[in-house]
Amino acid sequence: MKWLKKKYKKLMEKTKYKFVETTGCTAFNFTVNDKQFSEVSEQEYNEMLDYLFVKIKEGINEQTILLEDIVKLFQPDDWEHDPNICEQCGDSVSTATWNI
């Protein structure tokens, strides 16, 4: 168990932001480094975004984040669904388009 605590401590030393979301029943809370998200200053917010964008790019390059998942964060500009059902597999085809 000591090795796990050491590994966690080492990970926390490399961590710049700790995000915690609490949900359930009537509870909802989102904190950044133990601070309410609503209390983050504009400067802190912009620094956090810059950091996250760098980490997202690193994740895409390391293939731990899919580029498709980033694109899907945006609302598609067009969505089409072909109602024809494939006789072989029973599936249908949908197409989403993003113009970013």
pLDDT score, position 65: 96
| DSSP3 helix / strand / coil % (the chain, rounded to 5) | 40, 25, 35
* Structural tokens at position 40: 């983050």
pLDDT score, position 13: 60
pLDDT score, position 93: 93
> What confidence tens digit (pLDDT) does each residue in 10-65 have?
555 678 999 999 999 888 999 999 999 889 999 999 999 999 999 999 999 999 99
Q: Quote the CA–CA distance of 5 and 99 in Å, as a whole number.
A: 46
pLDDT score, position 26: 86
Confidence band of 6 (pLDDT split at 50, 70, 90): low
pTM over 0.85: no
